[in-house]
Amino acid sequence: MENAIIIVVGADKPGIVAGIASKLAENNANIIDISQTVVRGIFAMIMVVDISKCKVSLAELRKQLQEKGKELGVEVQAYHEEVFRYIERV
């Protein structure tokens, strides 16, 4: 399994989860976990996504998600799980 972590930040409104999830499904990226939190008063959604069978590279997936994010009025970032493993775990 190869995971990416996707972070969606912005004002809350209906359709954000559906929009991002459908874009992931289109690319065959499988959502493993979703949680929501509030960062400095701003809505933030965190997804852990299995990209081992993803049709496109993570760079391309990130681009597509960010375009979708623009439509939805939210900021989307996608990082490889290794970034978190290196920074947060010894």
Partner 1 sequence: MRYSADEIIEVYRMLREEELDIRSVTLSINTLFALAGNLESTIKRLETLNQTLEKFSYAVDEVSGKYGIRVVTRRVAVSPIQFFLESLSEEEGIEIAKFLDKLAEIHKIDYISGYSAFADRGFTKGALKTLKTFAKALNTTRRLTGMINAASTIAGMNMEAIKLYVNEIFNMPPTSSSRASIMANVPPDSPFVPSAHHGLGMPEATINIAVSGPGVIESAIRRSKPKTLEELHDVIKRAAFKVTRLGELIGKRVAEKMGINFTTVDLSLAPSPTVGDSVAGIIEAMGIEKMGGHGSLAALAILMDAVKKGGAMATSAVGGLSSTFIPVSEDSVMIERALEGYIDFYTLIALSAVCNSGIDMVGVSKSQGMDKVIGLISDVLALGITLNKILGARIIPVDSPPGSYVDLGGLLGKVVVMKLKDVDVSGFISHAGYMPSTIKRLELG
What is the CA angle 55-58-62, rounded to 5?
A: 105
* Binding span for partner 1 by CB under 8 A among 12-20, 21-29, 78-86: 78-86
**Out of 21, 34, 46, 56, which residue is the one contacting partner 1 (CB under 8 A)?**
46
Q: In sequence order, what DSSP letters do the residues of 9-64 get, joined into one string?
A: EE---TTHHHHHHHHHHHTTPEEEEEEEEEETTEEEEEEEEE-TT-SS-HHHHHHH
Choose between 54 and 72: whose C-beta lies nearer to partner 1.
Answer: 54
Q: Which listed residue (37, 52, 53, 71) binds partner 1 by CB under 8 A?
A: 37
Which stretches of the chain bind partner 1, using CB under 8 A?
Answer: 5, 7, 9, 33, 35, 37, 39, 44, 46, 48, 57-59, 62, 77-90
